Every structure is written in structure tokens, then in C-alpha cells.
Amino acid sequence: MCFSSARAISCPEHARLEEEYRAARNRMRGLQLLRKLTRMEERRLADEVAMAIAQLKEHAAKHGCERRQGHKI
């Protein structure tokens, strides 16, 4: 089981999945700011973000992990 608090880092896998989510979200936001994305690019990036969220939620459900305090998905 994974535990998290404001003072402790969540389990390594949870932290890795959170980072993947942030990276996918930031990649999408950054590219949207730089230029107009094609429909295919936007769909692919949105799918990456959605998959990252799904993996994070699945991990949290399996291992009892919770998001760190103050962290929103």
C-alpha cells in the first residue's frame, strides 16, 4: 500500500505516473501555445494526457495511493 503526505513523497511508481501526466499535459499546452495543432496532433496529445490520467487512477485504486496534498489532476 502506498502512503502520501505533504512531508513524504508518494510511492516511486505513483510519483513516476504523476510526472508522466504532468509531462503530457505540459507538452500539449506548450504546443498549443506555439501553433495551431492539426486535428490529428490534438487528438494524439489529448489521448496521451487521458492515458496518463487513467494509469495514475488505476495505480491509485490498486495500491491505495492518494494524490499529494494540494496536487490536482
Residue type, 39: R
Collect all residues with Cβ–Cβ distance below 8 Å to 56 and sequence separation of at least 6: 14, 17, 18, 20, 21, 73
User: Across residues 16-27, what is the average pLDDT?
Assistant: 95
Tens of pLDDT, residue by residue over 22-66, are 999 999 999 999 999 999 999 999 999 999 999 999 998 888 876
pLDDT at position 16 over 60: yes
pLDDT the model gives residue 11: 86
Question: Domain residue spans in the chain?
Answer: 30-64
Q: How many CB atoms lie within 10 A of CB 2?
A: 16
Of residues 58 and 69, more confidently modeled: 58
